[in-house]
């Protein structure tokens, strides 16, 4: 797969290889959908993490430490997020599915008090003005953190975009989603609400 520049070792669901990955993801979702259709009457899928196809990270490990600058020049450090549920979404403007996913993340962010649940996006883009224009065009206020050297992406072992991590209030990783998800869904709200309640 040809990269657009030498600054992007991570891959997205775009281009020929990305299309194949995307089709694979769709096929997987269809299989799961048909499987869910086989539930007997009265049975429902009550686990939002399973419904959103988010991989559990077992007992979890500590969220990798980081400190990144936002679009408006503020510093956001992982140490300052302790005590909050965190959704951390890695993306880039050259990744089509990433951009399509952003409005749903914005919607999800608005469902919670930022004192309890934080939704953050981390981009590997270098063009800050381009990001600013993109966010303004879609009316997004979602915090954007810049990881131009991809050091933080590397510490999280991000291999494809978008990739999203869920972090409990104790600062430990609890889930990972590779590829876009319906973050503007009841399941997504239930998932973050559950993490918020469980961490009390």
pTM for the full predicted model: 0.78
pLDDT at 119: 99
Q: What is the pLDDT of residues 6-41, one digit of tens each?
A: 444 444 544 433 444 433 443 343 334 333 333 333
**21 in the Ramachandran plot: left (φ > 0), alpha (ψ -120 to 50) or beta?**
alpha
From residue 126, alpha-carbon distances to 66, 145, 180 in Å are: 18, 11, 22
Q: CA-CA distance, 21 to 14, in Å (whole number)?
A: 8
> What domains are there in the chain, each with its CATH number?
47-198 (3.40.30.10)
Q: What DSSP string describes 87-122?
A: EEEEE-TT-HHHHHHHHHHHHHHHTS-TTTEEEEEE
Q: What is the pLDDT of residues 69-127, one digit of tens each?
A: 999 999 999 999 999 999 999 999 999 999 999 999 999 999 999 999 999 999 999 99
By CB atoms closer than 10 A (0-12, 13-18, 19+), residue 193 is: middle
């Amino acid at each position: 797969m040809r990269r657009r520049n030498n600054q992007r070792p991570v891959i997205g669901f775009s281009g020929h290889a990305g299309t194949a990955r995307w089709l694979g993801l769709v096929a997987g979702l269809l299989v799961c959908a048909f499987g869910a259709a086989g539930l007997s009457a009265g049975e429902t899928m009550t686990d939002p993490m399973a419904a959103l196809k988010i991989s559990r990270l077992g007992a979890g490990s500590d969220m990798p430490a980081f400190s990144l600058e936002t679009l408006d020049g503020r510093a956001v450090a992982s140490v300052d997020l302790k005590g909050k549920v965190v959704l951390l979404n890695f993306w880039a403007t050259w990744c089509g599915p990433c951009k399509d996913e952003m409005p749903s993340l914005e919607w999800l962010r608005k469902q919670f008090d930022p004192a309890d649940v934080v939704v953050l996006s981390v981009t590997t883009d270098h063009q800050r003005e381009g990001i600013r224009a993109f966010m303004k065009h879609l009316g997004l206020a979602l915090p954007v953190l810049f990881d131009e050297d991809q050091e933080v992406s590397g510490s999280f072992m991000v291999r494809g975009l978008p990739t999203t991590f869920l972090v409990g209030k104790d600062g430990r990783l609890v889930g990972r989603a590779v590829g876009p998800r319906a973050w503007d869904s009841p399941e997504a709200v239930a998932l973050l609400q559950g993490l918020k309640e469980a961490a009390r």
